[in-house]
Structure 1
């Protein structure tokens, strides 16, 4: 059972990632928002200050005393006595009044009175009679100005009033407001980091101390293990609902992601919450051998796991073991038979009856070596030659003669991606032919092989009783056999499925004596 993993702060990858991500997210948000806020704040402050300067300049331009003195161009300098106290009572950096030629009548610096106004932004006021704000650089530096025309008693424009705030002062005001707002933003960032730390700790605890990469690996390993086993595996919770199943279970019981309940035949065992071994049960007409095991956590049962295997597959294994056992028994019998033959030959030699000893040796007790040489000379693919020779000895043991057709010829080695499947294909077909010939009077099997053309062609003809036409397709079905219970019925199924993968086919026909099986396989490599 997996236990909670304890790791130090510096090794908690998930915690550090969440903290880093949260901090970076807040920093990027703050940076973006600060730039945006600074731009907006600057525009608002400049707009407000410009409007304030304009309002003051407009008020001054409408004062009767100012209008009268501007019309006279203030020969005695009385405007300064009016403007100086007014400028002292407001926070504007300067109040400058000029005549209709932009000649200063007032200025904070008295030495500049009588000189032309700087900035070249008086045209709209003096020529068009407009009230407006502007930015320009004067003798005191860059400033935001409010411009108002001065209209005389007869309605003519006789001068201009300019009230200004230096941009340096404006920037100081903006910076002060900006810094105040940043204090709140940095406070929010600090709170976000604390909350991210707390959240990451909770997430870490809920994941039993595992990092996401470790959880991903565990999940992938679990999926690989579940789908690697040949048994159907189903896990359920205490309510009997499916929480996990592998691909074999989905195939066996037609389950999908939306299926919540296991098959009815399994449910009564899963609800027992008891361990049971080798239970035989039927699901949709198919027999299964199943094992049931409870899932426990701290002595409490939290679910059940069922593993099932088709009974026919288990029977197939038993049948294969039985065949091996039978073959082993037959080898022991042959060993004794051959040992007795050697003893008899030795006895004849001992008493000088050499003719009888030679006669015994000449009888059909040993394979014909010339046939073996014929296989090697005609079949140039080592694997096919080995299969044919091996089956020749196997047939000889059973009293069946294998003949290589005189027209056979494999002129070159077969591509390895094809040849590695020939043992399954040729082995099963030749074994069936030997079994059929063993029951006949003639007891012969003829082999033919050629690689002329685009296909590899193999033909196996036996001297048996033949196969009914109605069974030509049925014999390829998984588990079907006509040889009795000791045979699995999987041989021809494997032959057909392998040939289909190779792009080939197998067919049956009536031979000179029994059945002739033809195998066609396209040449060329195959990718597994």
Structure 2
């Protein structure tokens, strides 16, 4: 995403200023035209009204009929000019001879301008012409006596310069208003730009676009499914991994914009939005697909405005857990064997240096005999080499811990038809034996018995210890996730054990009494490899 040449604030200010200036400019043109027309009409009406007033004056009529002196009518015209602020008031007879004029020397001379003809024929009108006083707007009105006979005409003139001045005065207010409007527009543009800039956290559009692209790429690239809702419960975000899981569950419709309650009725996202409390590692069933979900509220300014859930197919998590559990068990077994082997080497080294060769020979012979007996029994009765190696490692670990671990197997245990069962068995046996070893660690008698029996496609696993035992209340909670009598950050082993037994469709029976030890019996359907069709 390329960086813009101008900042968002500059663009907003310029855009608003241009829009305001154009709007006010066009308005000024339109209104100016109206004002000009209105001012001109006002001046015309003013001239006509003065002319009419003059034409109705009895002194004017008497002067035109010869019954009054011309000096009186000249004084009257001058008085009208001064009071109405017109350029001239001229009274003429039917021959067009002036009886009044601002310049006394023009009295008795013909009217100039050439536009008086229609007025002497009884017509009232307004015209623009040039006379002795320059260009002017002229209003003509015929003068009629009491008998209805026209005896002359009155002409009232307003200088065009005065008309233009009146128009300019009218436009002056409009121009001032336009400038004030532009100034207010600039101030408003600056305020708007700053507000938008603050709302966008000071980011420019190109930066917002880049963040959006990066956010989208990150959300689409993660393996966990992600779905988000707003405060109204509408789905606002679904990434690629979530869509894949939804399709696997038979939800083909595009979820964006839909109500979360309609699309996923069993979800708790709406409750998370209202409560503001997160939920971690929860199981949810989507039409047969089990997922592990983390639900977290989206909080803005200490107010929940939505919720987001991240989830993953539980099958994938189980496979990963099985692999990790198997590797850890193998590593523990190898470490125990290596430690035991180093201890024996130290004994052998000591006997060699002290030259106690007879004792050395007996020690090596006993070790080899014990090893052959122990390893031979396990490998003979447990056909699966992975499981056999694991059991041998547990024997070494138990000896290293000072615990007597005995393994009994009445019938040979063949390899399973499905190799995945081996990993589950390692999880089950490993957790049972580890718990038993911990249970007897502080007991005077440190004894653990492991019994394996295979008959009629059923594998029986029984682990008995001489530990402190459990009360009935503890037995009811011992398989719960996170429950432990050994302190914090514990309580996962037996929970994982119960999950593995459930996956194999097996059964677990716990027998225990305080100070009497504990007995775990597990029964699992087990089909041998040589029995497959």
**Structure having the higher Rg:** 2
TM-score of the two chains, using structure 2 as the length reference? 0.49
